[in-house]
Chains A and B, each alone.
Chain A
Amino acid sequence: MSTDATRAEICAVACAEVWRDAGEVLASPFGTIPSLGARLALRTFSPDLVLTDGEAALVVGAPPLGAAPVREAAMPFRSVFDLLWSGRRHVMMMASQIDRHGNQNLSVIGDWSRPKAQLVGVRGAPGNSVNHPTSYWVPDHSTRSFVEHVDLVCGVGYERAAAAGPGATRFHHVHRVVSNLGVFDFETPERVMRLRSVHPGVSVDDVRAATGFELVVDDVADDVAESRLPTDEELELLRNVLDPGATRDREVKG
């Protein structure tokens, strides 16, 4: 265990854990830290994961960020949809807003009909979230990103999927949310967001204060686990192989 790991490195390991036991599926990470996490998982405990070149091909293994990949198969956008509807994918999208049910928004801030801020759009979030495992990455955990109600439900959370019926719930699975403060899941009877672990140096109260809804915290708050530290091998991979330019520090400081 390496106690000098940075927060960005701890987040990368937390993102890698999202793909533990995923099997031979397409890992689709968005953002620098999830991209490192997927590569880390592939190179250690989830060797069957498959990555793309970010364009239109599957690649061999997990090339370092920015490195020229060896392409092994064609994966144009049309094939990505065919694949994601088949379920053999686990995406980690970003969330401009997320709520206690796992509803995610990356489309607009404010009223949809005339938004205060137009963001990128719903993208594939509605389809991803009801077709295969979906996780989210939020690099700036605050009451602006962890909100009581998202302004537009793009990625579908548990209560919305249940209300939409069996067509929506059959393959729905919001797996994890990783932020710069901790890791969250929905393993509660009501399928609402639970604090799974806090990153080293973060208190449960820090997380609560930065969250705009009441978070489920198991038992005695003092017992909440700490997110695990990178192993020596993982740190070596992150620092000297996958991200020698330390681009991870631009997404998460400290």
Chain B
Amino acid sequence: MPTVAMADKRSTLDDLVAELRPGMTVGIGGWGSRRKPMAAVRAICRSGVDGLTVVTYGGPDVGLLCATGKVRRVVTGFVTLDSIPLDPHWRAARQQGRVELTELDEGMLYLGLQAAAWRVPFLPTRAGLGSDVLVVNPELRTVRSPYGDGPFADPADDGADLVAVPALRLDLAIVHANRADTAGNAQFLGPDRYFDELYLGAAARRFVTAEKVVDEGALASEGPLAAVTAHRLLTDAVVEAPLGAHFTSCDPDYGRDEAFQRAYVEAAKDPAAFAAFRASYVDVDEAGYRAAVRDVSARTGGGGTR
């Protein structure tokens, strides 16, 4: 029996919000409308913080944060709701000039997070060459291959300029996992981990929200150990947040709540509609949110949970 207490990384959404400062760069895991840490996003929307830079494979996290005025800049390659191609809250923010954009090729975002996680200043790629990504982001640089000659020479790339994707260092990363343990190990039980470990690796402070938090050592009985890819060396805090990705998908715990997502889209139609949506589904605590979602699921016959 250990005589020294194990680190207990259990935390709360309030603790997460308390760490935010205006102007911080925050990375948000998931992809589009898939396994987004929406409970944490809602908590940020309720907070007093603003001026955030958000790095994300964008979905309703972007839309909701823009609609509540929390974001100054978004770093992304797209914003989509998947089953609904475009997010109307994001579109409105862009078309009204309320938000700045660093628009990158999807793969560049991957490499930028990887570079930050590996503590190198950049990683090279062809992605972006010749495109307007380099025009709308004039601060991006290219780098010439140093292997035009010598034993490692690749003559076909002699003189080739490549995009030097800068490290996308994050002040804070938030990802949502299916399971986590009290020590901060996180398990992804769905078919895709997306880029969540890279967000954690790229960040100074690292929060995991999870459907369920179990005792340290108990994740092996929740699913494969190979699915515990965000181990505790990558995390600082874990927050139990049931339905914490709703209304985005969180396979295999639940699929996307399409009826709810449609309601989210409808709420973009006018300020009064969004005010009502916000009062019901944003300006409520998580217990209140889950109760409201159960109500709407019962009414529509839709399935927030399965």
Q: Which of B80, B94, B105, B193 contacts A127 (CB 8 A)?
A: B105
Q: Is residue B133 contacting chain A, with contact meaning CB distance below 8 A?
A: yes
- What's the minimum C-beta distance from A220 to chain B, rounded to whole angstroms? 35
Q: Are B129 and A77 in contact (CB under 8 A)?
A: no
Q: Which of B83-123 contact A (CB under 8 A)?
A: 85-86, 90-91, 94-95, 97, 103-108, 110
Q: Which of A180-196 contact B (CB under 8 A)?
A: none
A213 at the interface (CB under 8 A from B): no
- In the complex, the chain B residue whose C-beta lies closest to that of A164 is B130
Q: Please, how many angstroms separate the alpha-carbon atoms of A90 and B21 in the complex? A: 44
Q: How many residues of A contact B (CB 8 A)?
A: 47
Q: Are A122 and B129 also in contact (CB < 8 A) when A55-B191, A127-B105 are?
A: no
User: How many angstroms between the C-alpha atoms of A114 and B93 in the bound complex?
Assistant: 10
- Among residues of A, the one whose C-beta sits closest to the C-beta of B156 is A170
Q: Which residue of B lies closest to A152 (CB)?
A: B132
Q: How far is the CA of A78 from the CA of B107 in the complex (A)?
A: 9
A121 touches B128 (CB 8 A): no
23 A-B contact pairs sorted by A residue (CB < 8 Å): A76-B194, A84-B107, A85-B125, A108-B94, A116-B95, A117-B95, A120-B80, A121-B58, A121-B79, A121-B103, A122-B77, A122-B105, A122-B106, A123-B106, A124-B77, A124-B106, A124-B107, A154-B133, A155-B131, A165-B129, A167-B126, A170-B157, A171-B126
User: Taking the complex as formed, is A156 at the interface, i.e. its CB lies under 8 A from any CB of chain B?
Assistant: yes
Q: Does B209 contact A (CB under 8 A)?
A: no
Q: Which residues of B contact A (CB under 8 A)?
A: 31, 58, 76-80, 85-86, 90-91, 94-95, 97, 103-108, 110, 125-133, 135-136, 142, 145, 156-162, 190-195
Tell whether A126 pairs with B128 under 8 Å between CB atoms, given A76-B194, A77-B192, A167-B162. Answer: yes
CA distance A156 to B158 in the complex (A): 21
Residues of B within 8 A of A156 (CB): 129-131
Which residues on B sit within 8 Å (CB–CB) of A155? 131
Asked if A76 and B58 make an inter-chain contact with CB atoms under 8 angstroms apart, the answer reads no
Give complex CA distance A76, B130 in Å: 27
Contact A130 B86 (CB under 8 A): no
Q: Which of A56, A121, A165 contacts B160 (CB 8 A)?
A: A165
- Give the residue of B103, B110, B125, B160 whose beta carbon is less than 8 angstroms from that of A122: B103
Contact A167 B58 (CB under 8 A): no
Instruction: Kindly provide the distance from the CB of B6 to the nearest chain A CB, expressed in whole angstroms.
Output: 31
CB distance from A87 to the nearest CB of B (A): 10
Q: Is the CB of B130 within 8 A of A130?
A: yes
- Bound together, the chains give a CA A155 to CA B128 distance in angstroms of 9
